[in-house]
A and B are shown apart, each in its own frame.
Chain A
Amino acid sequence: MSNYFEDLDIGRHTVLGAHIFTTEDIKTFAAKYDPQPFHMDEEAAKASLMGALCASGWHTAARYIGFNIRNRQKLEAEIRARGEEVAIWGPSPGFRDVKWPRPVFVDDTITYSQTIADKVDLKSRPERGLLVQHGEGHNQKGELVYQVTGQILVPRREKWTPPVG
């Protein structure tokens, strides 16, 4: 499987990997980027809407990106090993529809996955297409804790010609 825009199939689902959010992991991230009491202090978290110490949403999101990038790099290495040309993806204009429907609590195991949701042809960038991917994270009970709609530009093998008329 190569990684040019034309090679990517809508609906393709990939399980990326799982991460255990330990107390130390949660507090280290929070201390640097999001030191709200419910990410830093067990007692304060109990009294909060969250009900117990939980990870910053930006931490949950960051772990998804880590898996996403490493999975992409693994595929690139496989393509290279076959002696084929690797398409260098990017840049990303941003993302949308991030949801944190449930907190990620201490020692939760979050399994991340992604699905190719859409491929958008771009008149402004005929040499690249916009790949839309839905990312998700589920805890060990199967509950959704994270979702995101990511977007990234992906090189095409052939320049896109808009249909006439």
Chain B
Amino acid sequence: MHDKSLLHWEDVEIGKPNTYGAYEVTKAEIFEYATVYDPQPHHIDEEAAKKSLVGGLCASGWHTCAMFMRVLYDGVLKNAASLGASGIDEVRWMKPVRPGHILSAKSVCTSKRLMNSRPGVGICQMKHEIYNQHGEMVMTMENAQFLGVRDPDAARASAAEAAR
């Protein structure tokens, strides 16, 4: 199904952090996203944002999720046998994401398993931390990523061996 040279489920090492990404957040993009999807004053109006709880223009938290998705795609999924994800366990917004921020990510797989119902599908439970260029953590995300299994029979046999 996927090119065997791509990152597959077998290639993911539990506990090994992967850092990647440099996504520049612009004022124009904050406005563009928020105008359509999250038109709160602190995302679309600089003057109103100054007087708001967040003290200045910042990106929608959902926009930060979308930007992280792009960082994840460019940094990992573009070269992976990605099969998508069926959900997100939790996202925390720690600090406002401002115009001029450059977002990067640090991801670690905390556990992995094979999907019982679909032989070619593996699941990696991921913890992602998203930082700005000052090293401040702006968001965390936990979710299960589906990846293709390069050799389902061998993977199943070795999982059975490990469980013994």
Q: Enumerate chain A interface residues (CB-CB to B < 8 A).
A: 32-36, 38, 47-50, 56-58, 61-63, 65-66, 69-70, 73, 88, 90-101
Contacts and interface: CB of A to CB of B under 8 A. Distances in A.
B137 interface: no
A96 to B, nearest CB: 4
B88 A98 contact: yes
A47 to B, nearest CB: 7
Contacts of A48: 83-84
Contact of B66 (A47, A49, A62, A100): A62
Contact of B121 (A49, A73, A90): A49
B67 interface: yes
B36 to A, nearest CB: 7
A156 to B, nearest CB: 15
Interface of B: 1, 33, 36-40, 52-54, 60-62, 65-67, 69-70, 73, 77, 82-93, 118, 121, 139, 146
Given A49-B121, A66-B37, A94 B83 contact: no
B82 A100 contact: no
A91 B53 contact: yes
Contacts, number: 93
Nearest to B63: A62
B53 A90 contact: yes
Given A36-B84, A94-B91, A58 B65 contact: yes
B92 A50 contact: no
Given A33-B69, A49-B146, A91-B54, A100 B85 contact: yes
Contact of A100 (B37, B87, B90): B87
Nearest to B67: A33
12 contacts: A33-B69, A34-B66, A48-B83, A56-B69, A57-B85, A58-B65, A62-B37, A66-B38, A73-B39, A91-B53, A94-B90, A96-B89
Contacts of B88: 95-98
Given A32-B70, A49-B146, A70 B65 contact: no
Contacts of B54: 90-91
Nearest to A98: B88
B63 to A, nearest CB: 8
Contacts of B67: 33
Given A90-B52, A94-B61, A98-B88, 13 more contacts: A33-B67, A36-B82, A57-B87, A61-B65, A62-B62, A65-B38, A73-B39, A91-B54, A91-B93, A95-B91, A96-B88, A97-B88, A99-B86
B146 A96 contact: no
A50 B146 CA distance: 12
A63 B66 CA distance: 12
Contacts of B33: 62
